[in-house]
Amino acid sequence: MTDTREPLRLGTRRSRLAMAQSGQVAEAVSRVTGRPVELVEITTYGDVSREALAQIGGTGVFVTALRDALLKGEVDFAVHSLKDLPTTQPDDLVVAAVPVREDPRDVIVARDALKFTDLPSGARIGTGSPRRMAQLNAYARSHGLDIATVPIRGNVDTRIGFVRSGELDAVVLAAAGLNRIGRGDEVTDFLSVDTVLPAPGQGALAIECTAGNADLIAALGELDDPFTRIAVTAERSLLAALEAGCSAPVGALADLLADGQIVKEMRLRAVVGTTDGTRMVQLSTTGPVPETHDGAMALGRELAAEMLAQGAAGLMGERAQ
């Protein structure tokens, strides 16, 4: 029997991608709670500012307004792209669920259906991400390719529009975002994580509510995927230990390595580089899958310490405050 109580209110950004992923979460929450879920659209600073994300700090610009609405009781829970969440979690809020992760890779949408390595000499590739710029430029440099990375902002339509209009030869986007809005067929090339490591937490969502709402925390917990949570915890712990924000040129990915159907180990890879790709620190570590939150945090911190020892801090530009 359907619950007749008031609908649960889900706070979401207004962008097409945010609305799409929040709508998918709303359906899942409605299934596990038996209650209707309504979307409450909230405008964040990151949505209205025209500045480059690297300039406005990146960290929290898409999150603060949603968290304020949670704390004021205007919404019951909120959905964030996990890579947008600051690494420090407020005491009065809790990430009740991290659902199964979408494809974490970056992708190219290029003119004439070109692959990355088939782009012509001098190709202009648009991205707003210092992380992507650093790794694309490093790859191009080491493989004798001549590319120019061009800073851009805007939603998916705006970014792909730069390619359709001929202003750019290609743009780099997250596979997860295109998949969630049903535009995965526009991808012309998937960038291997061996070429471009994604942002920490890329492809994953965080479902957040107030720490005092035990019933809702329990209900939302039904959507949690333990393996995804362990992986993104390690990635975000590394980001925090580097004292870097989500706009810093840091890539990280925790892979779960399976023997048949049994997950045996976790490999954490990370990279920090200058945006021109001339200087990079790239390391990885492999070990047993952490069984606890603290274990995943320790894994990230240990790899970050090795990277700092190799000079990673000097490659990140301004350290996040």
Q: What is the pLDDT of residue 14?
A: 87
Same domain, 61 and 130: no
Domain of 62, in residue numbers = 8-99+204-224
Q: What is the pLDDT of residue 183?
A: 93
Asked if residue 320 belongs to a domain, the reply is no
Q: What is the pLDDT of residue 317?
A: 60
Instruction: Judge whether residue 224 has pLDDT over 50.
Output: yes
Asked if residue 197 belongs to a domain, the reply is no
- pTM for this model (two decimals): 0.88
Query: Residues with Cβ < 8 Å from 98, sequence gap 6 or more?
Result: 82, 204, 205, 206, 207, 224, 225, 228, 229, 232
Instruction: Judge whether residue 147 has pLDDT over 80.
Output: yes
Is 84 one of the catalytic residues?
Answer: yes
Same domain, 90 and 216: yes
Catalytic residue selected from 153, 267, 279, 301: 153
Catalytic residue selected from 13, 67, 101, 132: 132
Asked if residue 134 belongs to a domain, the reply is yes
Mean per-residue pLDDT, 139-160: 91
Q: How many Å separate Cα 300 from the centre of its chain?
A: 16
Same domain, 235 and 294: yes
| Per-residue pLDDT band at 306 (split at 50, 70, 90) | very high
- Listed in order, strand segments (DSSP E) in 274-315 are 280-288
Top mean-pLDDT range of 27-31, 264-268, 274-278: 27-31
Mean per-residue pLDDT, 34-48: 80
The pLDDT tens digits of the residues spanning 42-81 come to 986 555 544 544 443 444 667 888 999 999 999 999 999 9
Instruction: Judge whether residue 93 has pLDDT over 80.
Output: yes
CA geometry: angle 53, 56, 60, nearest 5 deg: 80
CATH number at residue 124: 3.40.190.10
Is 47 one of the catalytic residues?
Answer: no
Domain count, the chain: 3
Same domain, 81 and 156: no
210, two tokens: 């107030």
Q: For the chain, what percent of residues have pLDDT higher than 90?
A: 71
Is 159 one of the catalytic residues?
Answer: yes
Nearest by Cα to 278 from 249, 243, 245, 254: 249
Query: 110-113: long-range contacts at Cβ-Cβ below 8 A with a sequence spacing of 24 or more?
Result: 110/163, 110/169, 110/170, 110/188, 110/189, 111/163, 111/166, 111/169, 111/170, 113/188
Catalytic residue selected from 76, 84, 106, 169: 84
Question: Is the Cβ–Cβ distance between 200 and 89 less than 8 Å?
Answer: no
Same domain, 61 and 13: yes
Question: Is the Cβ–Cβ distance between 222 and 282 less than 8 Å?
Answer: no
Residue whose token pair is 């007749």: 4
Give the C-alpha separation, 6 to 169, whole Å. Answer: 49
Instruction: Judge whether residue 321 has pLDDT over 80.
Output: no
CATH number at residue 291: 3.30.160.40
* CA 269 to each of CA 22, 71, 198, 209, 230: distance values in angstroms, whole numbers, following the listed order: 29, 35, 10, 30, 14
Mean per-residue pLDDT, 154-171: 94
* CA 21 to each of CA 7, 41, 94, 95, 160: distance values in angstroms, whole numbers, following the listed order: 18, 13, 19, 16, 20
Same domain, 94 and 32: yes
Same domain, 60 and 180: no
Is 209 one of the catalytic residues?
Answer: no
Asked if residue 301 belongs to a domain, the reply is yes
Catalytic residue selected from 67, 101, 105, 159: 159
Neighbours of 86 (CB within 10 A): 20
Query: Residues with Cβ < 8 Å from 204, sequence gap 6 or more?
Result: 81, 82, 83, 98, 99, 101, 102, 104, 228, 232
- Listed in order, strand segments (DSSP E) in the chain are 8-12, 37-41, 77-81, 93-97, 106-110, 123-126, 147-150, 170-174, 189-191, 205-210, 250-259, 262-273, 280-288
Asked if residue 132 belongs to a domain, the reply is yes
Mean per-residue pLDDT, 17-25: 93
Catalytic residue selected from 67, 131, 183, 229: 131
Same domain, 259 and 216: no
Distance in Å from the first CA to the final CA of the chain:
50
| Per-residue pLDDT band at 319 (split at 50, 70, 90) | very low
Instruction: Judge whether residue 283 has pLDDT over 90.
Output: yes
Neighbours of 181 (CB within 10 A): 17
Same domain, 114 and 151: yes
Is 153 one of the catalytic residues?
Answer: yes
Please give the DSSP secondary-structure letter assigned to residue 74.
Answer: S
Same domain, 114 and 175: yes
Same domain, 140 and 158: yes
SS3 call for 58:
coil
Same domain, 302 and 248: yes
Q: What is the pLDDT of residue 311?
A: 87
